[in-house]
Amino acid sequence: MKRFLLFGFVAITVFTQCNSPKQTSEWRGPNRTGVYNETGLLKEWPKEGPDMLWSLSDIPKGYSSVAVVNDIVYLTGIKDSMDVLMAIDVKGKIKWQVPYGRKWDNTFPDSRCTPTIEDDRIYLSSGKGDLACVNALTGDIFWEVKASDKFEGAFGEWGISESLLLHGDNVYYTPCGEKTTMVALNKITGETVWQSKSLKDKSSYVSPLMVDRNGKKQIVTVTENNVIGVNPDNGEIIWTFDYAKYAGGEWKANIQTNTPLYYDGKIFVTNGYDHKSVMLDLSEDVSSVKLVYVDSLLDVHLGGAVRIGKYVYGSNWEHNRMGKWVCLEWETGKAMYETKWKNKGSIISAEGMLYCYDEKGGNIALAKVNPEAFEVISSFKVPLGKGPHWSHLVIKNGIMYVRHEDALMAYNIKA
């Protein structure tokens, strides 16, 4: 909470302690599940789509999603050689913009890190693996670390796409390489807290997940070749699972992009290019995992998946230009449906509805959560922006935020 004290003609901002909950935002919503805790939303849209409240065009280009805290919308983009962070009020007015790290300078350079926010601090990674902590009110940089350089990281041909994970006093990042796999930095100072051992692996394009099994916390993420479980307190890599051997298709590609799903001791890992999905069972003491099943139908390319009740929903990869929408039974991997609708894309959920964003044509569908059939209730086509529709949708306070590279749109979806 802020208080303003006046001494003569000078105003001093004082931050005071209060008992209100922390204001947070992270990649794919609460606990990175893709399921937003919103109520009072429309269950059907007008034919032309929900009402657009405002839009911005010609913003710095990016594939990242927005983060919303205290009625401010934050997003990343690229400008010249840098990734930049923008702050926008909920009426669509740009408040400030600040560069924070080097952009990726090869194929598909647009920004891909979604801001991670806790109260007045924003945590970011850049396409080249520069980390920064930024003041959410002013845009001033608290600290910055060229982490991939410092820890001699190893990454693939599309650079870094990791949205940083916060827990307790630390912020976590996965540089991989010969020196380490994952590191923890003090979230206030940026100083190194620990470095894990090296698995001699490359980083993937996955943002890590914090899971809780019987009160025991563990970080779960996917490197190029492994699913791993890491102790957040000391960096011990507790278990590894050889995910690379489940690569399929002609390419045998290990291009991992999706944050795993976790529920009640089960970890679901899915990625595209005919890579098989796996369900893992995390032991009661979080010391090991065992394979529950392997699935060949739902290989999510870039769009994430959601678990709702006894089922998991997402779109699969047929090739880079096409995919279908799929529902599996969570416990068994049994296929419930595989349905063609426009194209593959990203998916989120709120209040018993699915929000599906076609990555090629920019169509957004509203569908009921229903394991028996994929039935679109309403849909509309995004009118602004250019290039692929890779940003994931975000819902906050009854507003759906749609990012399409150099455009941002806010839609009223309140009932």
CATH number at residue 194: 2.40.128.630
By the 10 Å C-beta count (0-12 exposed, 13-18 middle, 19+ buried), 337 is classed as middle
pLDDT digits (tens, 9 = 90+) for 381-394: 999 999 999 999 99
- Tell me: do 363 and 342 sit in the same domain: yes
Helix, coil or strand: residue 30: helix
The dihedral formed by the CA atoms of 317, 318, 320 and 321, expressed in degrees to the nearest 10 = -110
- Tell me: do 106 and 57 sit in the same domain: no
Beta bridge partners of 61: 78
**399 occurs within a structural domain:** yes
- Please compute the mean of the pLDDT values over residues 232-250 and round it to a whole number: 97
Q: What is the pLDDT of residue 13?
A: 32
- Supply 336's token pair: 């419930």
**253 occurs within a structural domain:** no
Domain edge (last residue) among 206, 240, 271: 206
Say which amino acid occupies 180.
T
> Are 36 and 369 within 8 A, CB to CB?
no
Mean pLDDT (the chain, rounded): 95
**278 occurs within a structural domain:** no
Q: What is the pLDDT of residue 74?
A: 98
- Tell me: do 10 and 130 sit in the same domain: yes
- Please compute the mean of the pLDDT values over residues 30-59 and round it to a whole number: 98
| Pairwise CA distance, residues 171 & 164, whole Å | 7
> Are 386 and 406 within 8 A, CB to CB?
yes
Given pLDDT bands bounded at 50, 70 and 90, which one contains residue 82?
very high
* Residue 17 clears pLDDT 50, i.e. is over it: no
- Tell me: do 20 and 169 sit in the same domain: yes
The number of CA neighbours under 13 Å toward the Cβ of 281 is 8
Q: How are beta strands 353-358 and 345-350 bridged, if at all?
A: antiparallel
* Residue 225 clears pLDDT 60, i.e. is over it: yes
* Residue 415 clears pLDDT 60, i.e. is over it: yes
- Tell me: do 184 and 308 sit in the same domain: no
Beta bridge partners of 229: 220, 239
| Pairwise CA distance, residues 162 & 28, whole Å | 12
* Residue 5 clears pLDDT 70, i.e. is over it: no
The 8 Å CB, 24+ separation contacts for 318-322 are: 318/344, 321/360
| Pairwise CA distance, residues 268 & 292, whole Å | 10
pLDDT digits (tens, 9 = 90+) for 340-399: 999 999 999 999 999 999 999 999 999 999 999 999 999 999 999 999 999 999 999 999
> Are 279 and 286 within 8 A, CB to CB?
no
pLDDT digits (tens, 9 = 90+) for 253-283: 999 999 999 999 999 999 999 999 999 999 9
- Tell me: do 74 and 196 sit in the same domain: yes
CA 9 to centroid of chain Cα atoms: 44
- Supply 170's token pair: 């630390």
- Tell me: do 6 and 51 sit in the same domain: no
The domain containing residue 339 runs over which residues?
34-64+304-415
CATH number at residue 415: 2.130.10.10
The residue to which tokens 């001033």 are assigned: 140
Q: What is the pLDDT of residue 21?
A: 75
**216 occurs within a structural domain:** no
- Tell me: do 4 and 44 sit in the same domain: no
- Please compute the mean of the pLDDT values over residues 86-108 and round it to a whole number: 97
**267 occurs within a structural domain:** no
**282 occurs within a structural domain:** no
CA 384 to centroid of chain Cα atoms: 22
Domain edge (last residue) among 175, 206, 237: 206
**313 occurs within a structural domain:** yes
- Tell me: do 147 and 168 sit in the same domain: yes
* Residue 39 clears pLDDT 60, i.e. is over it: yes
**Closest by alpha carbon to 199, among 234, 240, 251?**
240
- Tell me: do 5 and 120 sit in the same domain: yes
- Tell me: do 361 and 312 sit in the same domain: yes
**Closest by alpha carbon to 293, among 311, 266, 271, 274?**
266
The 8 Å CB, 24+ separation contacts for 385-389 are: 385/57, 387/61, 387/110, 388/63, 388/359, 388/360, 389/345, 389/357, 389/358, 389/359, 389/360, 389/361, 389/362
Residues making up the chain, counted from first to last: 415
- Tell me: do 49 and 173 sit in the same domain: no
Q: Report how many domains make up the chain.
A: 2
- Please compute the mean of the pLDDT values over residues 293-314 and round it to a whole number: 98
| Pairwise CA distance, residues 148 & 205, whole Å | 14
The dihedral formed by the CA atoms of 49, 50, 55 and 58, expressed in degrees to the nearest 10 = -30
Q: CB 274: neighbour CB atoms within 10 A?
A: 19
- Supply 202's token pair: 């490359």
Helix, coil or strand: residue 330: coil
- Supply 146's token pair: 């060229």
